[in-house]
Structure 1
Amino acid sequence: MVPLETINKAVAMIMSGEITDYVYDAQLKKLVERD
C-alpha cells in the first residue's frame, strides 16, 4: 500500500501543474496517464 500522504502529495503536485504526465480524472476518481 502507498501511504495516503504520498498520494495526496502527488495529487497536489499534479493539480499545481508540477507533474504533467498524469492528470486527475474526477469522474474516474483516479490519476490517468496522458498520451
Structure 2
Amino acid sequence: MLTGIKLRLYPNQTQIGQLWQMFGNDRFVWNRML
C-alpha cells in the first residue's frame, strides 16, 4: 500500500532564497542531462 505525506513549509526570507537557488541548480542539472 502506498501512502503519501503532506507537508507545509513556512520558510523565512533566507530559506526562500536558498530554496530558489536549489531549484535553479536542479533544473540546470536536469536540462544538461537531457
TM-score (norm 2): 0.44
Tell me which protein shows more strand as a share of its residues: 1
**Greater CA radius of gyration, 1 or 2?**
2
Tell me which protein shows more helix as a share of its residues: 2
